[in-house]
Amino acid sequence: MMNQKKSNRWMMLKALFIIPVATLAVSVFANTSDMSNMANAVNTTTNTLSTTNMQPQQPDTKVFVVVEEMPKFKGGESAMMEFLMMNMKYPQTAVKAKQQGRVIVGFIVRKDGTVSDVHITRSVGYDVLDKEAMRVVKSMPAWEPGKQNGKPVNVKYNVPITFRLK
């Protein structure tokens, strides 16, 4: 008895915790066909642009969040980052006040690739930085539109823009 090692109660609790977690993981990943059906349902029932007089939505005003082929900035991510860096002007009032941070700008890439409905999804807390981020996104050239079932569609998109002083 004196030479036997006592079992740690935490080890027993960990073992009991693993069983339900493993069961949950198997059940979630085993139903991949259900997950793809849910993703398709989300695509068909995503938010649409609201109209002011609440008329029925036109099929071409539907805005997707996730599509089979997401919109792409011409030239890829690196070209988009280069565009943002080259066109962004750090506001002098923000420099003097030592304001910096990250803004997330949301917009819609239309069927024709144009950027519209630019808005701030997450503000940095400084109005001048938010306005500059919106200005740069509004000045973007046309994108390659997103596609659903092989057809161009309107897609919501978010871009993070970081303002950092040197």
- Give pTM, 2 decimals: 0.62
The 10s digit of each residue's pLDDT in 110-127 is 999 999 999 999 998 999
| Domain extent at residue 29 | 9-40
Share above pLDDT 70 across residues of the chain, in percent, rounded to a whole number: 64
Domains held by the chain: number = 2
Name the pLDDT band for 39 (thresholds 50, 70, 90): very low
Is the model's pLDDT at 161 over the cut of 80?
A: yes
Same domain, 30 and 108: no
Residue 129 lies in a domain: yes
CATH of the domain at 144: 3.30.2420.10
Same domain, 71 and 18: no
Residue 17 lies in a domain: yes
DSSP 86-120: HH----HHHHHTT--EEEEEEEEE-TTS-EEEEEE
Residue 4 lies in a domain: no
